[in-house]
Amino acid sequence: MNLLKDLRDLFVPNRCLHCKTIIHKHQNFLCLSCSLQLSHTNFTDYNNNPLEKLFWGRVEIHQACSLYFYYKGSPIQTLLKELKYNGLQHFGTEAANTLIHELKETSRFSAIDMVVPVPLHPKKEKKRGYNQVETFGKTIATHLKAPYIRDALIKTANNKSQTKQTKEERHNSVKNMFKVNLKHNLNNKHILIVDDVLTTGATLLACINTLKNTYNVNISIITIACVV
């Protein structure tokens, strides 16, 4: 079997997902040069970090962190696109494992009761076959010894891409887009919401407000990447 794999590797070389240069078959996703362009935020053990400040005056959260800074046209955008549209779920696991290394150095995220993903609309999830944040969220949840509740929040409207909307338009379009799933009682829990990328924070803010309108909860946030 290994011979077959070696033969396949000979004819179909492993390429960096971002710049397409040929990489060693054991290298994951990116060439060295593109890997070095991944920019760590170091927010994990950083109180009052810029991501947390984004929510100041809007909603009370406990802690927030993100693994990488997000830049358009950069390798992180490529990886997140592959994760979202081309089934690169292994990247979610790998990003979580990198973050877990950092979590081990801090007690900031140690008292989490459950991990809840930002949901996709059920129709979209069925079409895509998965929620892109699932491998990331489940790996973090296992590390925190907290259950991963995939359907604690339900997305009720199937919105179009938000990428061309202004910040204000985004906030208005996602404001009432989620509801809580009453089959789970989240009262008095510390909930960690996970998402792939935070850009304006509108989606996460809508999720937090939906939870807080129903329950007395503490909220923390972890995303793979963020724009701050």
Residues that bind Zn ion (CB under 5 A): 16, 18-19, 31, 34
Strand-strand pairing, 153-155 and 178-180: antiparallel
- The answer to whether 77 touches 71, Cβ cutoff 8 Å, is yes
Q: Which is nearer to Zn ion, 17 or 96 (CB)?
A: 17
Q: Which is nearer to Zn ion, 36 or 157 (CB)?
A: 36
Q: Which is nearer to Zn ion, 19 or 228 (CB)?
A: 19
Q: What angle do CA 39, 32, 194 make, to 5 degrees?
A: 40
Q: How far is the CB of 29 from Zn ion (least distance, A)?
A: 9
Nearest residue to 193 via CA among 160, 146, 157: 146
Q: How far is the CB of 196 from Zn ion (least distance, A)?
A: 21
Distance separating alpha carbons of residues 125 and 172, to the nearest angstrom: 23
Q: How far is the CB of 37 from Zn ion (least distance, A)?
A: 8
Q: How far is CA 55 from CA 8, 98, 100, 101, in A?
A: 49, 25, 24, 25
Q: Which is nearer to Zn ion, 16 or 64 (CB)?
A: 16
Q: How far is the CB of 41 from Zn ion (least distance, A)?
A: 21
